[in-house]
Structure 1
Amino acid sequence: MIVPTALFRAMGDLPRPRIFGVVALGVLLSLVLFALLQAAAIWAIRAFGPDVLTLPLIGDIHINGALSWGSLILFPIMSVFLMAPVTAGFAGLFAEHLAKAVEDIHYPGVQGKSVRFREGLLESLAVMGAVLLVTLVTLVMTPFLGPLASLLFYGLNGWLLGREFLQMAARRHLSANDTRALRKRLFKQATAMGVIIALLATVPFLNVFVPVLAAVGFTHLYHVSASTPQGRRG
């Protein structure tokens, strides 16, 4: 039951005055990251896609014009596919600040040490690239995989996000070897929570809060697991 406990605590934390300012900055950062990814996606479509797309009953659509006028309309649509990699990239940029805020409130006696920004950022960028690759492969393979494409998308992204955020939370308290051991022990819980995060990341408008929820939730997941008898023995 540690996953529901961690998620409910995280949702309860979002409106807290002590955390809300950090949450607002986190949401802003998520929007900036998403806007950058959307701009890159639109550039790629313009650079490598056809100039004109012919659709039944509609006729010819000029891609460049549609993208220019429809970028705002595309914002919530593209967020369904791009917010998962944004969430992964968020881990290295802002999760540390949220973890510290959560620990100040809930776990003042077990404050963790800060993770070096460069180290966390490089790892998060690698995971973001992997999540983006999974997203692109899933989109390309959807006509061939059918419903299995959704399982691939949420399953792999859930595993990647769970691994990344749990590692970011645990490394504030554990050595590299102990962090790897914890990832193995909490594989099912971290993956399950990662899948939930990946699902929420595909809900337009709500998904701008998902990176913040993930950072706070996995901080709670680490501490809740550490408070269990098995966690104390580990």
Structure 2
Amino acid sequence: MFNIEVDVFPFFKTLASLPKAKLLGLLFFCAFVAVFIAIAFALGLGWLTDMLAYWDTAWLNTLSGWVTGLLGGVVAWFMLPTLVVLIAGVFQETVISRVEKIYYPDRQRTSPPQLWPDIVHDIRFTLRAILLNLLIVPFYFFGIGFFLSVALNSYLLGREFFESAAGYHLGKKQAQAFGREFRGPIYLGGLVITLATLVPGVNMITPVLAVVWMTHLYHFLCTREK
């Protein structure tokens, strides 16, 4: 019998890893990128609306721009789960390497971490995730869109982050096969990550938290398999 809080649900271990593995600098980087994306999306949508929709009355133009910008910010906020992988992909190997150096020194990979090693894959995943999230938008009108979004992104993010952590050692194909043996804990991790992206403030540092969480989960599941 294993300890679900510490092993399958490494909440406190993940938080403790941030200062121990010297990841606080990356947390600030994540926060900056997340805020930049949300602001850029809102401003871009407002600019596009100004270009396409023009009213004869000045105050209507101003109101339209503000409403569109506000809606754009809200949409960007709820679409943030689909962007987490793209943000995390830039430095995920650095995070994994630092965590393993502190917690799993005997299991470290010999080759040094790379900067954004799977950029093409991360972009494809993000585009696919955005498309899938857009497909469930109509369900928001029936009151179940939020729950479908959480369920969908829990699966997508859990699988993607776990395969990144496992793939750091095993490679993508073997990581996928390994992950299929532990769908429950991986989905649970994905659920935590998804919910974290919806919490103001926490969502800005979720990319780092997600990588750390799945790194701990991967190493625990390796011991379980043995």
TM-score above 0.5, yes or no? yes
Q: Residue 168 of structure 2 aligns to a residue in which SS? A: coil
Conserved in 2, the CA contact under 8 Å of 1:166 and 1:222?
yes
Measured in 1, the distance between the counterparts of 2:28 and 2:116 equals 23
- The residue aligned with 2:16 is 12
Structure 2 unpaired stretches of 5+: none
- The residue aligned with 1:3 is 8
Aligned residues: 217
Measured in 2, the distance between the counterparts of 1:187 and 1:44 equals 42
Conserved in 2, the CA contact under 8 Å of 1:33 and 1:86?
no
Q: Residues 39 and 175 of structure 1: is their aligned pair in 2 closer, same or farther, counting only changes over 3 Å?
A: same
The TM-score with structure 2 as length reference comes to 0.80
Measured in 2, the distance between the counterparts of 1:150 and 1:65 equals 26
Q: Residue type of the partner of 1:125?
A: I
Q: Residues 115 and 177 of structure 1: is their aligned pair in 2 closer, same or farther, counting only changes over 3 Å?
A: farther
Measured in 2, the distance between the counterparts of 1:182 and 1:44 equals 45
- The residue aligned with 2:65 is 65
Following superposition of structure 1 onto structure 2, how do residues 41-120 of structure 1 map, counting pairs within 5 Å?
Answer: 41-42=45-46, 62=62, 64-66=64-66, 75=73, 77-112=74-109, 113=111, 117=115, 119-120=117-118
Q: Residues 110 and 38 of structure 1: is their aligned pair in 2 closer, same or farther, counting only changes over 3 Å?
A: farther
Equivalent of 2:208 in 179, 202, 212: 212
Cα deviation for residue 204 of structure 1 reads 1.8
Q: Residues 140 and 115 of structure 1: is their aligned pair in 2 closer, same or farther, counting only changes over 3 Å?
A: farther
Q: Residue type of the partner of 1:165?
A: F
Deviates more, 1:12-21 or 1:79-88: 12-21
Conserved in 2, the CA contact under 8 Å of 1:134 and 1:153?
no
1:189 paired with 2:185, answer: yes
CA RMSD in angstroms comes to 3.0
- The residue aligned with 1:31 is 35
Q: Residue type of the partner of 2:203?
A: N
Q: Residue type of the partner of 2:202?
A: L
Conserved in 2, the CA contact under 8 Å of 1:46 and 1:63?
no
Conserved in 1, the CA contact under 8 Å of 2:97 and 2:113?
no
Conserved in 2, the CA contact under 8 Å of 1:26 and 1:94?
no
Following superposition of structure 1 onto structure 2, how do residues 117-132 of structure 1 map, counting pairs within 5 Å?
Answer: 117=115, 119-132=117-130
Cα deviation for residue 29 of structure 1 reads 3.2
Q: Residues 28 and 127 of structure 1: is their aligned pair in 2 closer, same or farther, counting only changes over 3 Å?
A: same
Deviates more, 1:17-26 or 1:160-169: 17-26
1:139 paired with 2:143, answer: no
Conserved in 2, the CA contact under 8 Å of 1:19 and 1:98?
yes
Structure 1 unpaired stretches of 5+: 53-59
Q: Residue type of the partner of 1:178?
A: Q
Conserved in 1, the CA contact under 8 Å of 2:91 and 2:115?
no
Measured in 1, the distance between the counterparts of 2:101 and 2:134 equals 39
Measured in 2, the distance between the counterparts of 1:123 and 1:37 equals 22
Cα deviation for residue 217 of structure 1 reads 0.8
Q: Residues 93 and 17 of structure 1: is their aligned pair in 2 closer, same or farther, counting only changes over 3 Å?
A: closer
Q: Residue 166 of structure 1 aligns to a residue in which SS? A: helix
Aligned identity (percent) is: 24
